Chain A
Amino acid sequence: MAEELNSQNPINRRNLLRLSGYSLGGMLVGGSVLTLAESLAGKATEPLNQKVEELLLKPQTPVPEFPMSAIEPNALIINTYDFTPNINLNEFRLVVDGEVNNPLSLDLATLQKMPRKSMVIRHVCVEGWAAIVQWGGVPLRELIQLAQPKPGVKYAYFISADRYYESWDLASCLHPQTVLAYEKNGAPLPLDNGAPLRLASPIKLGYKLSKWVVQVTLVSKLLPRRGFWEDQSYEWFAGL
């Protein structure tokens, strides 16, 4: 009789108890398996994702730009990992060094006399929001060409005055829309947005676009430290 009841009603007391036992065990095992699986999932697919991202990147093709009227002045959220640095503009020098034949140390006046690129692009944050912004500045490739990288250079490190650090693949550095910007939305770059000099580009996520850049170091190998957020497991390539 009891057997018959069991088979007819799957949600009886015994089955419920059994089920709750399963789910509790499942959650305990699941929790640890998930943590392990996450690092595996990340490690297993990030190289694949990066390959696809590198394939998708068209290194010399500009991303379509927007008209000035499309600018969203209030959409750009100000993010820093820690603090806003004090920079003495008179003493400011941008250093370009590393594996180069002609290391540079340039003041702001010199940088502003170099070829200027202005663009209205979409700035996309890893958090999911985006803002259409105008940036004006020196194309990074002008600086890299001037510094004459040695053969074998593959990456660039960007060091900021607040000790934020980033590293990029060379192809993305040489993209025509990757600039060191000193201008935002038609006005001098505000301090909170990275003045006097910051990275701007439509092809990388926001955390790759360092503010307050003081040093660009060209290298042939990545160091164990690849970027402030990357060292906490953010994706390194972060192409858009």
Chain B
Amino acid sequence: MNSTGSTQVAKLQDIKEKTPRSLQAFPAKVFHWLNIISLTVMLMSGLQIYNANPVFGGREGWHIPQFFLLGGWLAGGRHWHFAAMWVFSLNLLWYGVYVLVTKRWQHRFVGGNDLKALQIGKNPKRKIYAWHRIVYTSIIPILLLALFTGLGMYKPAQFPWIVECFGDWFALRVVHFASVPLVIGFAIAHSLLSLKVGGERLVNSMLWDEML
């Protein structure tokens, strides 16, 4: 290595040390936080609405315990649900634009290389990383499905074709409700995989680093 090369490297290292950069882009962290908060409100208020007439079994069906609910009663649950839907859906929208414009979709989500690593790869760490990417990519279709089925239930007269997509009203309700176990299952799998892949450093980089 010649002398100019090594000074450049030294300079770069100097810059890196002086300004420790987070592993995550700032917009990704904002999306992540708004998603956690709005999804929690959507889930809890959604379960409050669910309890007015449980999807499974109607009024005689099993009711969700009070601890998991938000809003106090049906009207309160609906207020929360239809207020948080704006934060939830607009957050998803700007993030979608951001991912497309910055071309993050090309390398930040699951791709052929991950599938290859799982099928023919020999590196166990790379395999877990591939699973991590599969799991966190899966939240995007899960959220879009929740939004799509929710719109169909909120405005069935204006979007009758959404109800049609699922056959009938009951099927639509079941698929919309499926968001709850899907999101909870996702949150568990995603937390465990993040810890396994990157430990506290990765988790902190998405949650806390440079956020305050």
Q: A interface vs B, CB < 8 Å? A: 34, 38, 41-42, 44-46, 48-49, 53, 56-58, 63-64, 77, 122, 124-130, 202-203, 229, 232-235, 239-240
Contact A34 B74 (CB under 8 A): no
The residue of chain B having its C-beta at the shortest distance from the C-beta of A202 within the complex is: B157
Main secondary structure of the interface of B (DSSP, over half): helix
- Taking a contact as CB atoms under 8 Å apart, the answer to whether A128 and B55 are in contact is yes
Do A45 and B160 touch (CB < 8 A)? Answer: no
Residues of A near B70 (CB, < 8 A) are 34
For B86, what are the chain A residues with a Cβ–Cβ distance below 8 Å?
A: 45, 48
Please name 15 further chain A to chain B contacts, defined as beta carbons within 8 Å, in addition to the given A41-B84, A53-B155, sorted by A numbering: A38-B79, A49-B82, A63-B157, A63-B160, A64-B160, A125-B53, A126-B74, A128-B50, A128-B173, A229-B75, A232-B75, A233-B79, A234-B78, A240-B156, A240-B158
Give the distance in Å from the alpha carbon of A129 to the alpha carbon of B78 in the complex: 15
Q: Which of B75, B79, B169 contacts A130 (CB 8 A)?
A: B169
Residues of chain B lying within 8 A (CB to CB) of residue A34? 70
User: Nearest CB to that of A129 among chain B residues?
Assistant: B53
Which residues on the B side are within 8 Å of A44 (C-beta)?
83
B residues with a Cβ closer than 8 A to A are 49-50, 52-53, 55, 58, 70-72, 74-76, 78-80, 82-84, 86, 153, 155-158, 160, 163, 169, 173
Most buried by A among B79, B84, B160: B79
Q: A57 touches which one: B83, B153, B158 (CB < 8 A)?
A: B158
How far apart sit A232 and B157, CA to CA, in the bound complex (Å)? 25
Instruction: Tell me whether A128 and B79 are in contact in the complex, defined as CB-CB below 8 angstroms, given that A64-B160, A240-B156 are known contacts.
Output: no
B79: chain A residues within 8 A (beta carbon): 38, 41-42, 45-46, 233, 235
Q: Do B173 and A45 have beta carbons less than 8 Å apart?
A: no
Q: Within the assembled complex, what's the spacing in Å between the Cα atoms of A38 and B163?
A: 30
Cα(A58)–Cα(B158), bound, Å: 8
